[in-house]
Amino acid sequence: MQLRPLLLAIGIMTVLLGVAMIPCALIDWADKRPEAHVFAVSSFGAVFIGTCLWVLARGEVERTGQREGFLLTVMVWTILPVVAAIPFIASGMSFTDAVFESVSGLTTTGSTVLTGLDALPRGLLLWRAIIHWFGGIGIIVTAIAILPQLRVGGMQLFQLENSDRSGKFLPRVTDIATYLGLTYLIVSVACALSYYLCGMSWFDAICHAMATMSAGGFSTHDASFGYYNDTPAPWAAIVFMLIAGLPFSLMAMLVLQGRVMQFVHDPQPRLYFALAIFFSVMVSILYFANTSGLLDEGVIGGLKLTIFNTVAVMTGTGFATAPYDTWGIPVQALILGITFVGGCAGSAACGLKIFRLEIAAKALFAYSRRMVQPHRRSPIKYGGKNVDEDTLQSVMVFMFLYFATFLISAALLGLDGLDPMTAITGAATTLSNVGPGLGPINGPSSTFQDFSDFSTWVCTINMLLGRLEFVVVFVVLTRRFWRG
């Protein structure tokens, strides 16, 4: 196995994280905060470590294969969170809480252990937004450029058009990263401008735009997006949260090439928007039926609350404008189900992903037909093409690992003394990279601060497994992988 190219990649990304800390130091210095040195020292440390790795790994880049691809994916998403945690540790957080916060940021989960956000230094708030944004583009590139090559969880369906498939584990990765990164930047700028025009300060607009387009959820206020309930900002957020859940390869074709028909022919966006509308309608009906929302908020105000929070959960953005865990048991049950859905493959969103749900549903119907008519051939089609057995098996293995991990982690949280609702929703929301749960401890108006160190680590591992698509991690942990 060639480790030198992997160390080179880790070194470069560590340097980038260190450079990204500089704006945080500058804004704290501008605010004359006594904590300004935290990001200056952290930035120097990260750049120094990254440069050392870069120098050690210098030389001609060697050809890498599938095993290196698996290992690099795991290394990036386990080492970089520790680097991103340095400012949190320097600010006085425990190692466990700091790693939880940085993992939550980079995996764009949005769960937090911090309180009193309105009084925190702006540098720290900006850093939380930056690691969201950094993680978001990392997830997109990983999902489109790397995971399809590794044939993980059915992702081989989503090879970027005209990619070189000659065997390299990162086919034309620089072109892909540039292609997607430019689109990501353009849409993020548009989102920030929209928030500013809706009444946010420039600082809040930029931080919330980073959190929105990465499907993250870190806010600069304890009230989350509810701080702006009296402005049009939640309506703008609904639009951009839905965009964040779309395939960014399609977004790039639309923004850079004007290829509108790609959305018409791709099956994912159609089902994605259909489910978003269906869930929003169902939550709205249950909200008005089980609460006094119609009297308190009116029809428009109530719809703004229900649609916003439904889309925030489905896309894994995790913002909240109201304590939806108080809207009655039917709403809680529906929200829990929505937590698992997620967005489209190749997006910053979370969960099972739209294409897996569609393929699994079609496989179930095909199996049912064969039970009635054993000799009947029932091919499974997706996007007008037959789904091969390898892809179908990848999807089913992914879904098995997903729900098995959910059950085990929920059981571990329950054994640690958490109440059933907190344990179940804590496992679901971190595994699906959504953010807030529904329990009395981790609800949309609360944080994960009261979790024990053991429960915090369970949730941290969940967030990483959810973002790494499970199979990657389990493959790296097998003995055969290290034997070659």
Question: 284-299, pLDDT tens digit by residue?
Answer: 999 988 877 666 777 8
- Mean pLDDT of the 87-98 span: 94
Burial bucket for residue 371 (CB in 10 Å: 0-12, 13-18, 19+):
exposed
Q: How far apart are CA 114 and CA 120, in angstroms?
A: 9
* Mean pLDDT computed over 88-103: 94
Residues 25-41, mean pLDDT to the nearest whole number: 90
Over residues 410-420, the mean pLDDT reads 95
pLDDT digit string, tens, across residues 231-263: 999 999 999 999 999 988 788 777 777 677 777
In contact, 357 and 268? CB cutoff 8 Å: no
The pTM (predicted TM-score) of the whole model is 0.89
Mean pLDDT, all residues of the chain:
86
Q: Mean pLDDT across the stretch 67-84?
A: 85
Residue-level pLDDT at 482: 80
* Range list of H helices, 258-374: 261-265, 267-290, 293-296, 298-314, 329-339, 354-372
Sign of the alpha-carbon dihedral angle for 264, 188, 315, 357? positive
Could you tell me the CA-to-CA distances from 114 to 94, 105, 161, 165, 229 in Å, in that order?
A: 12, 12, 42, 45, 22
Contact 415, 398 (CB under 8 A): no
Q: Which residues contact 252 (CB under 8 A, 6 or more apart)?
A: 179, 180, 182, 183
Burial of 479 (0-12, 13-18, 19+ CB in 10 A): exposed
Average pLDDT over residues 336-360: 89
Q: At what angle do helices 95-106 and 453-467 cross, to 10 degrees?
A: 20
Rounded to 5 degrees, φ, ψ at 386 are -70, 140
Q: Which residue reads 């037959």 in tokens?
A: 386
Residue listed under structure tokens 């953010």 = 435
Query: What is the C-alpha to C-alpha distance for residues 217 and 484, in angstroms, rounded to an integer?
Result: 40
Residue 483's pLDDT is: 75
DSSP-derived 3-state class of residue 433 = coil
Give residue 330's pLDDT: 92
Strand-pairing partners, residue 382, are 385
pLDDT at position 395: 87
Contacts of 254 (CB under 8 A, 6+ apart): 260, 262, 263
Residues sharing a CB contact under 8 Å with residue 219, sequence separation 6 or more, in sequence order: 117, 207, 208, 211, 225, 227, 319
Q: 376-386 pLDDT, tens per residue?
A: 777 888 877 88
Number of helices (H), then strands (E), in the chain: 23, 2
* CA angle (270 as vertex; 344, 171 as ends), nearest 5: 40
Q: What is the mean pLDDT of residues 271-295?
A: 88
Output the pLDDT for position 43. Answer: 93
Max avg pLDDT among 60-74, 129-143, 185-199: 185-199
C-alpha span between 308 and 315 (Å, rounded): 11
Of the given ranges (65-69, 121-125, 311-315, 354-358), which has the lowest mean pLDDT? Answer: 65-69
Sign of the Cα torsion 247, 249, 252, 253 reads: negative
Domain ranges of the chain: 65-248, 388-483
- Mean pLDDT in residue range 439-461: 92
- The string of pLDDT tens digits covering residues 154-200 is 555 555 443 333 333 334 666 677 778 888 899 999 999 999 999 99
Angle, helix 420-431 to helix 329-339, in steps of 10 degrees: 30
